[in-house]
């Protein structure tokens, strides 16, 4: 794994439908000068887009205004790099442990690429 990579192989996966019900929405990718039509109460969704310079559309990002209450989700999956880390996550005693449906080690999946 590359040390200076922008992203690490860790994350969580959750139901898009559940996040939508909790106020989550996909971001709106637009150049700064084209976002005037976005209502003021939705500006939090705007992400700057400049073709050839700033293009984060591959992230397909979603956002929630404020904090997302994980306890209101039906469950989530945790993505880690190794099976060792998966066991560590599984053994943690955290407030969201009851929500974890599975821990997926990415090293095993990348072997098939």
Do 48 and 29 belong to one domain?
Answer: yes
Q: What is the pLDDT of residues 48-91, one digit of tens each?
A: 999 889 888 888 899 999 999 988 999 999 999 999 999 999 99
72 shares a domain with 55:
no
Give how many domains the chain has, as a whole number: 2
Mean pLDDT for 93-104 is: 90
Within this chain, do residues 103 and 89 fall inside the same structural domain, yes or no?
yes
pLDDT tens-digit map of 13-27 = 999 999 999 999 999
Q: Tell me what pLDDT residue 4 has.
A: 57
Q: How many CA atoms lie within 13 A of 69 on its CB side?
A: 5
Are 56 and 31 within one domain?
yes
Regarding whether 89 and 35 lie in a shared domain, the answer is no
Host domain of residue 38: 25-63
Q: Concatenated DSSP letters for 54-98? A: B--GGG--EE-SS---GGGSS-EEEEESSHHHHHHHHH---TTGG
At residue 107 the predicted structure's pLDDT band, cuts being 50, 70 and 90, is: confident
The Cα–Cα gap between 109 and 103 comes to: 12
The answer, yes or no, to whether residue 96 has pLDDT greater than 60, is yes
If asked whether residues 45 and 12 sit together in one domain, one would say: no
The tokens describing 4, both together, are 């200076």
Report pLDDT for 55. Answer: 85
pTM for the model stands at 0.74
Give tens-digit pLDDT for 50-61: 988 988 888 889
* Distance separating alpha carbons of residues 102 and 78, to the nearest angstrom: 6
* Residues 111 and 83 grouped into a single domain: yes
């Amino acid at each position: 794994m590359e040390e200076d990579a922008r992203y690490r192989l860790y994350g969580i996966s959750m139901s898009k439908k559940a996040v939508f019900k909790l106020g989550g929405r996909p971001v709106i990718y637009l150049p700064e000068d084209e976002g005037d039509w976005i209502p003021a109460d939705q500006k939090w969704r705007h992400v700057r887009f400049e073709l050839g310079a700033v293009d984060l559309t591959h992230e397909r990002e979603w956002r929630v205004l404020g904090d997302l209450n994980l306890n209101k989700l039906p469950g989530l999956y945790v993505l880690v790099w190794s099976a060792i880390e998966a066991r560590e996550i599984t053994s943690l005693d955290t407030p969201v442990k009851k929500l974890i449906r599975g821990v997926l080690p990415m090293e095993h999946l990348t072997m098939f690429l």
